[in-house]
Structure 1
């Protein structure tokens, strides 16, 4: 049975829904709509609601058009101006529960906080309040344009974290126990904010799932923007891009990007990221416990055509020479090495369960396990008809324990050979196993990068 549920918070009165023991408050604006003069400006806190706010459905998404026709994660695009919104899912009768703030992925160009894979019902069941954040994407969120504050998407996330600190108590959350988590670009954003002096004190723990040190050189971004402007027939400036709709820009980015992995994203040299992410991680956030890892195959898996190809793929993985290893997996021991003086600790994991649909432990297929939502729409299309519930229960329990402030049971990492990583779902093994040297094939590359 679904009933209405009302919360009175500093932001105003919010009316959501309650279903059993789960309360949902969806699409709550935390900033004024980024339109007109605010489109390419730092976010402004939303004024207090003068009337009860209807939070019964997901709000508008910054993704106006999807980046590609098909995606592993269902990522609905919802029209509207108030794209800087967040959703809260909380246990019934919650009081001072720990809070998980989730940043969605999508290459900083796409993605949707309204995905059913991000529903926090299992976290609510286990005494955690989840907050899923929408932020500006692509040109609007990450283009380094003259006259525009850099890293607008990260500034949006910081303002959302401020909203959490001011309002989450009214929803049953503890503002002093906030874990910032995300996957892919969201995981990279977590690491960027962990490296930022501007983010200090806004969260107490961090989780990066398939993230990395994905900063974009300004010259690289400017080159892409010049090509985008030529394609759209506008100068690559604030004035030029302001004359083009968000949907046109996102379609242009999707058409032009091709196989490039990262064309827009966090840039350094401003007040948010004054130094490189590597330098920032070695200096900031050392009092914040960090859990991070990657899938075994990310973007390298697929059903092999023959035995020789399979042997070659296995050899490449053992040598740590794949795209997955250089972009994602090597980042894990590298970050642990940068944070080796962290008083709070860094823990590594590796997701190894091969989806029969994608042919490996590929990018994004771990999310329904961490969220424990194997019954969500689109899961079986990506994971096959029988994804193992026992694995989801173990992974979710580990994440719940971390969010509740419990130290992981395996040894913290320092970025050296022999560091233990918790492996999830390796074929022929138990659902979890603590493996010394789990990231050893990519440790030399990680050490060299440092």
Structure 2
């Protein structure tokens, strides 16, 4: 229901520590109405003198603030890099969040809270997605919060004279807002679980390893987590290139003189994976734009921080889909079928020895053709190897591991983003069918969503935790089950692996 369509009877006004706020009631079958508050600013608009500055929290207001429609998004036009509907909303006050709750105004409800950080490669994505703002979690007694953050060079570019990791600082500012304000929406600030998918999953891991985020959440869920951990030299290289092409000095004054549209254009040009050798460089060196290891807010790479024990007291659920990027090669499948799968893997960075061991583990994918093999190999190098390494690092801490293995009939694979509508239990939402087909299994959504609820409420998704010896792994599929060492197939690709 849009703000224009809502009536006074559909609305609810509550008091918050910052002022009174008006939200929209939404009927939900089987329970009392829930209420959505959209576009709530947690920081001042990052424009003018605040462009490229650390987020400045909003202060209290007089009167009643309408929270009836999604706020402006940092994404300026959907670049189409995800399969999730993520609309762009124009405007300046882009640092905002959305709250969906079954207990608005009841500070004694003390319900668990889910804070969702969207994906999009750290340069795209939108908190205004209908999937993220669906009613599933609120229907089941969880207060959900979807946060915005600055994207691309605006949020993560290295700019001398400006604070590093502005997008990361936005995450922190939003979590601090939750701590101070969520009780007014029926949430418990001591029962916050952070979750995200893709870059959002990487954000979860980044926060888990950050000293500055300690105490802001009690649980973490990383779906298809993509870490950046960009080195300062690599960040400076991108800065110098963009500044040179923009014709400005590579500092705060120079970049503030570049219009937003022009900066986005140069950023996309210089981070594109379509250029010759760009994909291989990304596989070898990681993303070129994202959280930067600055020695301050991020003292060291997240992988090192987690290996050293940071966040070891926080329950963590790690998951990935089996074929994250299978669709990357689907259009070329007819051509690729004439090329040997082993040779193509070698071109993508697989050694001869590792290739043989990996192909043995993935014989089922080999039977589907070279395109499927390349998609699985790319998936392993970008997501599943790192997940298995992190799980082993945390094998003596509260950690749960899973795989989403159900193959959508659209791509004949368990592709990137496919697990998201199942996690949110929103299979009836818009644009699910182009990803999951006309009849996605509701039983699987029930199962995955229930595991999420269990983790958010009790810090345990409902199966055995991952251990050094047995490595329990939950397989979410038409037949959901728990196996031992569900990521054994990626072992040959891990650094230093004996094959």
After TM superposition, the score normalised by the length of structure 2 is 0.83
Secondary structure of the corresponding residue to residue 17 of structure 1: strand
- From 313, 327, 338, the equivalent of 1:287 is 313
Alignment CA distance shift 1:219-1:409 (3 Å): same
Q: How big is the shift at 1:226?
A: 2.5
**1:227 deviation in Å?**
2.5
Instruction: Give structure 2 stretches of 5+ with no counterpart.
Output: 28-32, 346-357, 364-372
Aligned residue in 1 for 2:89: 78
Correspondence for 1:274: 299
Matched residues in 1 for 2:340 and 2:71: separation? 45
C-alpha displacement of 1:308: 7.5
Q: Does 1:419 align with 2:471?
A: yes
The answer (yes or no) to whether the contact 2:24–2:35 under 8 Å persists in 1 is: yes
Q: Whose Rg is larger?
A: 2
The answer as to 2:409 corresponding to 1:356 is yes
Aligned to 2:52: 40
The structure 1 residue matched to 2:146, chosen from 110, 129, 132, is: 132
- Please provide the CA RMSD for this pair: 2.4
The secondary structure found in structure 2 opposite 1:155 is helix
Alignment of 1:141-156 (within 5 A): 141-156=155-170
1:92-107 correspondence runs (5 A): 92=103, 95-107=109-121
Counterpart in 2 of 1:368?
421
Structure 1 residue 170 displacement after superposition: 0.5
Cα shift at 1:140: 1.2
Q: Output the CA distance in 2 between the equivalents of 1:6 and 1:16.
A: 6
Deviating more after overlay: 154-163 vs 275-284: 275-284
CA positional deviation for 1:403: 0.5
- For residues 418 and 445 of structure 1, do their structure 2 counterparts lie closer, same or farther at Cα, with a shift above 3 Å needed? farther
Against the structure 1 CA distance between its residues 242 and 388, is the aligned structure 2 distance closer, same or farther, given a 3 Å change threshold? same
> Alignment length, in residue pairs?
441
What is the alpha-carbon distance in structure 2 between the residues aligned to residue 230 and residue 295 of structure 1? 40
Whole-angstrom CA distance in 2 between matches of 1:358 and 1:255 = 29
1:212 positional shift: 3.5
Structure 2 distance, partners of 1:7, 1:446, is: 52
Q: Do 1:418 and 1:438's aligned partners in 2 also have CA atoms closer than 8 Å?
A: no
Mapping for residues 185-264 of structure 1, pairs under 5 Å: 185-259=199-273, 260=278, 262-264=287-289
Superposed counterparts of 1:255-404, under 5 Å: 255-259=269-273, 260=278, 262-282=287-307, 283-301=309-327, 303=330, 304-305=333-334, 315=359, 318=362, 322-342=377-397, 345-404=398-457
Change (3 A) 1:10 1:351: same
Alignment partner, residue 25 of structure 1: 37
Q: Any unmatched runs of 5+ in structure 1?
A: none
Render the CA deviation track for 1:153-196: whole Å, top value 9, x for unaligned: 11111111111011101001010000000111110010001000
Partner Cα distance (1:45, 1:364) in 2: 32
**Residue from 6, 12, 15 that aligns with 1:5:** 12
Deviation at 1:129, TM superposition (A): 0.5
2:484 corresponds to 1:439: no
Q: Which position in structure 2 is the counterpart of 1:55?
A: 67
- Asked whether the equivalents of residues 453 and 461 of structure 2 are also in contact (C-alpha less than 8 Å), the reply is no
CA-to-aligned-CA distance 1:63-95 (integer Å, 9 cap, x gap):
123334x64111111111111100000014661
* Secondary structure of 1:116's aligned partner: coil
Secondary structure of 1:181's counterpart equals strand
Normalised TM-score (structure 1) = 0.92
Comparing 149-158 with 356-365, greater Cα deviation is found at 356-365
Q: How far does residue 120 in structure 1 lie from its aligned partner after superposition?
A: 3.6
Contact 1:65/1:250 (8 A) holds in 2: no
Secondary structure of the 2:317 match is strand
CA contact (8 A) 1:27 1:85 kept: yes
Shift of 1:14: 1.1
Decide whether the 8 Å contact of 2:158 with 2:239 is kept in 1. Answer: no
Q: How much does 1:330 deviate?
A: 1.0
